[in-house]
Structure 1
Amino acid sequence: MRTDNRTALHWAVAGGNEDAVKLLLDHNANVDIEDKFGMTPALLAAWFGHLQLLQILVNAGAKVTIRNSIGQGIHHCAAHQGHMAIIRYTIEELQEVPLDKPDQTGKTPLLLAAENGQLDVVTYLHALGCDHQFQDKERNSCIHLAAGQGHVHVLENLIQGIFSESKNKAGQTALHLAAEGGHFNCVKLLLDNQCQINVRCSQNLNALHYAVKQGHKDVCHLLVEEGIDMNAVGQNACLHLAVKHNFAQLVRLLIAAGCDINISDHKQQSALHLAVERGQFAIVEMLLKANINLQLQDKQGKTALDLAVRSQHAVLIDMIIKMERFNARNLDTSQVAAEGQGDSVLGLPFNHVPNLSHVRSVLWNLATKHLKPGDWKKLAEHWDFSKKHIKAVETQWTGSNSYKEHGYRMLLIWLHGIITLGKHPIKELYESLVKIGKAEVAELSLFKQRKYVDRRIQRWIHLRSAK
């Protein structure tokens, strides 16, 4: 006997060895001996579908009403594994075997058959009049179990005449469980049979919450197309869950479907707050392009920019400042999406700018070689950067020469905005340097960098400086 307490008879039955079973019984083997899990040879015969061996054991006096350690009898074992011949035999020949008695988890043979996708057994027990509304200890019905495991053919058999809106202990319907499991066909079948799409569980979640949380894109598409409430909020809205789990495609789907992008969770955080905290650059960009409200504050009064500053996400800081300045000009943010194929963090249209890499080189040369500490702030103030924006850029510390990096970042942010206005950056930069009293710097950094500035602008600068 092994540590699992299985005897030779257990192994002979499990292996379907009829001769060995007969030999052991002839030598007075204990026909009802239990292993570690309470499985007798008869229960093993039912589990593995060995009808002839079960008949031999019954004829040898095996108890047919015995149950294992979790309360499962012969019908439970056979239904779990889909052995129709065993079930027919026990019903027709062994009438003392109960058909609808639950195991310790509250599951009847019908519930086990539904949970494990045993369609023939479900159909047979259905026809015998088994209680289809019976619920296990978690209050799951057979329709819950079939939907939750994705057994669409079983669900199709059961859905006629069974209340699909019943809730389990967690307040979930079959639709919740099908959506959570990503079982598209089960979700579609339930919806086609007019189940309630917006019903919520005890945690105030609808089916879309479950599908989003698990990243089931096809199910999410289906639920959205069928008109589910995308803005239902428990602790989180669906958009927040997509952000939390970094499902960029689902964020895009929800935005395109018209969800409320400014909705707040239980911490009063927007989806942008969450994306910034997690450093999710692609999702932040999506939300910015969708024109999310950048002034929304969480419970601590922090905006998304505040969180980016706190986390020292320089790229995110710059992205948010760019969009705040873009919004301040009352420009149409649809331009971002429509023309978003250019060379920009936010995808704004830079393609029409000649020699853009050269322009950037001019800006780098200006920031690192010509602007003194504090000069970049004067330019920023001249260009209507707010004090908050300047402070946010200045948060990044790279040493005693940090002002050079700060200046370059500010210039790139400005470049982003000036191009959206359709103005030539070199021309605008020259005028701005002159206005803040840096005409000499303008000459040194712009006019003399001939390889970076086209001849037309060179002539214009020359005429301006001559005045």
Structure 2
Amino acid sequence: KRTPLLQAISAKHSKTVSLLLQNPSCDVNLATSTETSELGKAPLILACKLQYLSVIRELLNHPKCDLLLRDHQQNQAFHYFLATSMRSDEYLELFNIFIEKLMALGKDTLNSQGEAGRTLLHIAVQYNAGTVGTTYTVEEVLIENGSNVLIEDDAGNIPLHYVFLGNKTTNDPVELCALVMQAMKYKSLDMKNSEGNTPLHLAVMKESNICIMLLLKHNVNVSIENNLSNTPIATSIAMRHGNILITFLQQPIDVDLSKCYHTSTTSGLETPKVHGHVWTAEVAHIQPKVIKENSLITLIIKQRSWEGVLSLIINDLHRFHLNYIQVLEAAIANNCYDIALRILTKAKQRAALHEKNSYERN
């Protein structure tokens, strides 16, 4: 059901593609394929999905090629073109041709939203590997030419969220994070997505230590809660990221460790699902939410290797909104008798042992 041009592109017969494009009767914008993965895909869209660079060049140079066509998933050719971490010299050359042609059609073309509301910048940031030596030309050029860094996709994510989403080679894409933050003029860094997670929440989940320090340098809110009432600090504890927790504890901020970490059976971090270059949304049946909670100090004590963390906390309990009896109770409940002994030794006044827990029990 494909046109000869679509068939040649799909089979990657470059010579046949060239011959067909030289024929005046060849419709370079016709999308006829009934293949599920090719519905609504015009030749340029299909070539971009396949990252078929030589054919993309020929189509971009064709006077009748329409860059603004969309497939059935609402993606344009440029959305697919950006969905790769491979950025060769030839790729960047074609990228600049795309930019030049799209800008000639109107500045706002670079803010076009495709499937799931993702803009070109969302996709570029998602697919940037974030490793040392990675080029950031794509993101820089998009931003310089008017890509809006505050547009939200359907899940409420802005490009800064995407620094920490996707399967990046590194957990700490520092340069990418710095680039996007600078483009935001260091404002709106605490924007929440639909699950209430800020970029800092996601950075903690990804264990992006240096990015977290960079975010903290620009005064992001460490105490901000997501939809489950979990702060980035609570998230670091629940995900067993001890080094990140120490970073938070050393900040001159109010840290309340008397709170709980909440989990839900029907809610979690929504990471974009990518099958090839097709984004799909996972639809779940609506079920009643069951919220479970664990006290933060209990989660900390369970990590028996967190000696440094516990020392920081025990030496300054009141700063962390804790009392001796809370820590002692958690230690005994988890059979951590060495910690219980430390607490008993630390409690210089007998009155400390008469404190009550949250259930008003001694």
Q: RMSD across aligned C-alpha pairs, in angstroms?
A: 3.3
Shift of residue 174 of structure 1?
0.5
Which structure would you say has the larger RCO, counting Cα contacts within 8 Å and 6 or more residues apart?
Answer: 2
Match of 2:27 among 98, 103, 110: 98
Paired position in structure 1 for 2:68: 133
Q: How many residues are aligned here?
A: 286
Paired position in structure 1 for 2:104: 161
Paired position in structure 2 for 1:211: 163
2:128 aligned with 1:172: no
Paired position in structure 2 for 1:148: 83
Q: Which amino acid aligns with 1:128?
A: P
2:51 aligned with 1:114: no
| Residues 147 and 323 of structure 1, relative CA distance in 2, 3 Å threshold | same
Map 1:393-408; keep pairs closer than 5 Å: 393-397=331-335, 402=337, 406-408=340-342
The superposition leaves residues 398-420 of structure 1 with CA deviations (integer Å, 9 ceiling, x where unpaired) of 6xxx4x65324665x78xxxxxx
| Residues 217 and 200 of structure 1, relative CA distance in 2, 3 Å threshold | same
The superposition leaves residues 21-44 of structure 1 with CA deviations (integer Å, 9 ceiling, x where unpaired) of xxxxxxxxxxxxxxxxxxxxxxxx
Instruction: From the CA coordinates, give the structure whose radius of gyration is larger.
Output: 1
> Hey, what's the Cα distance between the residues in 2 that align with 1:189 and 1:74?
31
> Hey, what's the Cα distance between the residues in 1 that align with 2:216 and 2:304?
25
> Hey, what's the Cα distance between the residues in 1 that align with 2:296 and 2:127?
33
The superposition leaves residues 140-171 of structure 1 with CA deviations (integer Å, 9 ceiling, x where unpaired) of 11221122225433222112335011111300
Paired position in structure 1 for 2:271: none
Shift of residue 139 of structure 1?
1.0
Paired position in structure 2 for 1:222: 179
Contiguous gaps of at least 5 residues in structure 1: 1-66, 331-383, 415-431, 437-467
Structure 1 SS opposite 2:75 = coil
Shift of residue 314 of structure 1?
4.3
2:208 aligned with 1:270: no
| Residues 397 and 296 of structure 1, relative CA distance in 2, 3 Å threshold | closer
Is contact 1:107–1:136 with CA below 8 Å preserved after alignment?
A: yes
| Residues 79 and 219 of structure 1, relative CA distance in 2, 3 Å threshold | farther
Shift of residue 322 of structure 1?
3.2
Shift of residue 132 of structure 1?
1.0
> Hey, what's the Cα distance between the residues in 2 that align with 1:124 and 1:406?
73
Is contact 2:238–2:261 with CA below 8 Å preserved after alignment?
A: no
Is contact 1:393–1:410 with CA below 8 Å preserved after alignment?
A: no
> Hey, what's the Cα distance between the residues in 2 that align with 1:397 and 1:301?
20
> Hey, what's the Cα distance between the residues in 2 that align with 1:97 and 1:171?
32
| Residues 223 and 385 of structure 1, relative CA distance in 2, 3 Å threshold | same
Is contact 2:68–2:76 with CA below 8 Å preserved after alignment?
A: yes
> Hey, what's the Cα distance between the residues in 1 that align with 2:164 and 2:314?
30
Paired position in structure 1 for 2:286: none
Is contact 1:305–1:317 with CA below 8 Å preserved after alignment?
A: no
Is contact 1:277–1:307 with CA below 8 Å preserved after alignment?
A: yes
The alignment's TM-score, normalised by the length of structure 2, stands at 0.67
> Hey, what's the Cα distance between the residues in 2 that align with 1:128 and 1:238?
42
Paired position in structure 1 for 2:277: none
Shift of residue 193 of structure 1?
0.9
Identity %: 15
Contiguous gaps of at least 5 residues in structure 2: 86-90, 130-135, 263-291, 351-362
The superposition leaves residues 195-228 of structure 1 with CA deviations (integer Å, 9 ceiling, x where unpaired) of 1011110000011111212344432221122226
2:201 aligned with 1:201: no
Map 1:68-107; keep pairs closer than 5 Å: 71=2, 73-75=4-6, 77-78=8-9, 81=12, 83=14, 85-93=15-23, 95-102=24-31, 103-104=33-34, 105=38, 106-107=40-41
Match of 1:319 among 293, 309, 326: 309
| Residues 240 and 190 of structure 1, relative CA distance in 2, 3 Å threshold | same
> Hey, what's the Cα distance between the residues in 1 that align with 2:308 and 2:329?
12
The alignment's TM-score, normalised by the length of structure 1, stands at 0.53
Shift of residue 274 of structure 1?
1.7
| Residues 269 and 195 of structure 1, relative CA distance in 2, 3 Å threshold | same
| Residues 302 and 322 of structure 1, relative CA distance in 2, 3 Å threshold | same
Shift of residue 278 of structure 1?
2.3
